[in-house]
Chain A
């Protein structure tokens, strides 16, 4: 049973460029959430996708956008990169449902983005 997979593992970009990160959810999951983890900090929620729509969003600018595909996989896009966007980007998947247990999030290993 494959867990949450993310690609690429590492990425180096320069200021002003655009980047796309990818995530495949755990088998059986239908919801993907993205988090940004700056060095030495806890992860911060960016947004969540369910049924190919953005359902919730944290306090991140419009430069951060996403997409979910019919197979539940997801992409995170960041435009006009800033030095401060350097971080570990984590994808988490879950099964959205009424029962609290179904909302448990399982994380991938992350994509380390460095902006120079």
Chain B
């Protein structure tokens, strides 16, 4: 079945450092791909999405490119801030899923001043 694998955390960075969180997926057909963020004590917020190969999703300085050839959707940000500290989830919505999501286990990011 469909699945998502993302890099294990926690990830600790200094403010203004470059961020990469790796995400790879297994799916039949062409799923839609998402990054959600969860701040402490809160639900999930959609960060960005891509619905077809080579699409680049971007929001709040974060970017991810849908790579069909490597089945990847890595999250990047050029300069992280303390306020970016959260748990990041990679997810996919497969064909026939009616938008229902399969999530990775999450990667906790801590940014130190």
A: which residues have CB within 8 A of B?
4, 6, 31, 33, 35, 40-45, 48, 50, 55-56, 58, 90, 92, 94, 96, 100-101, 103-110
**Closest CB-CB distance, A49 to chain B, in whole Å?**
11
**A44 to B103, Cβ gap below 8 A?**
yes
User: Does B101 have its Cβ within 8 Å of any Cβ on chain A?
Assistant: yes
User: Nearest chain B CB to A35's CB is how many angstroms away?
Assistant: 8
6 A-B pairs with least C-beta separation: A103-B99, A42-B103, A107-B44, A109-B43, A107-B43, A100-B51
Which of these, A41, A58, A104, A108, contacts B43 with CB under 8 Å?
Answer: A108
29 contacts across the A-B interface (CB closer than 8 A): A4-B43, A31-B99, A33-B100, A41-B105, A42-B91, A42-B105, A42-B106, A43-B89, A44-B103, A45-B100, A45-B102, A48-B100, A56-B98, A56-B100, A58-B100, A92-B44, A100-B32, A100-B51, A103-B32, A103-B93, A104-B46, A104-B49, A105-B46, A107-B36, A107-B43, A107-B44, A107-B45, A108-B43, A109-B43
- Which chain A positions have C-beta within 8 A of B97? 56
Which A residues lie within 8 Å of B103 (CB)? 42-44
When C-beta atoms are compared, the residue in chain A nearest to B99 turns out to be A103
Complex-state Cα separation, A70 to B41, whole angstroms: 31
- Give B6-26 as 1s and 0s: 1 = Cβ < 8 Å from A's Cβ atoms: 000000000000000000000
* B69 adjacent to chain A (CB < 8 Å): no
B104 touches A101 (CB 8 A): no
- Chain B residues near A45 (CB, 8 Å)? 100-102
Question: Known interface pairs A42-B104, A42-B106, A101-B51. Does A96 touch B42 (Cβ–Cβ under 8 Å)?
Answer: no
- The reply to whether A109 and B99 contact each other, CB–CB distance below 8 Å, is no
User: Could you say which of B91, B98, B106 has the most chain A C-beta atoms within 10 Å of its C-beta?
Assistant: B98
A104 touches B99 (CB 8 A): yes
Cα distance, A33 to B93, chains bound together (Å): 13
Q: Are A41 and B106 in contact (CB under 8 A)?
A: yes
By a CB distance below 8 angstroms, the chain B residues around A48 are: 98, 100
Residues of B within 8 A of A44 (CB): 103
Contact code string B33-51 (vs A, CB < 8 Å = 1, else 0): 0001000001111100101
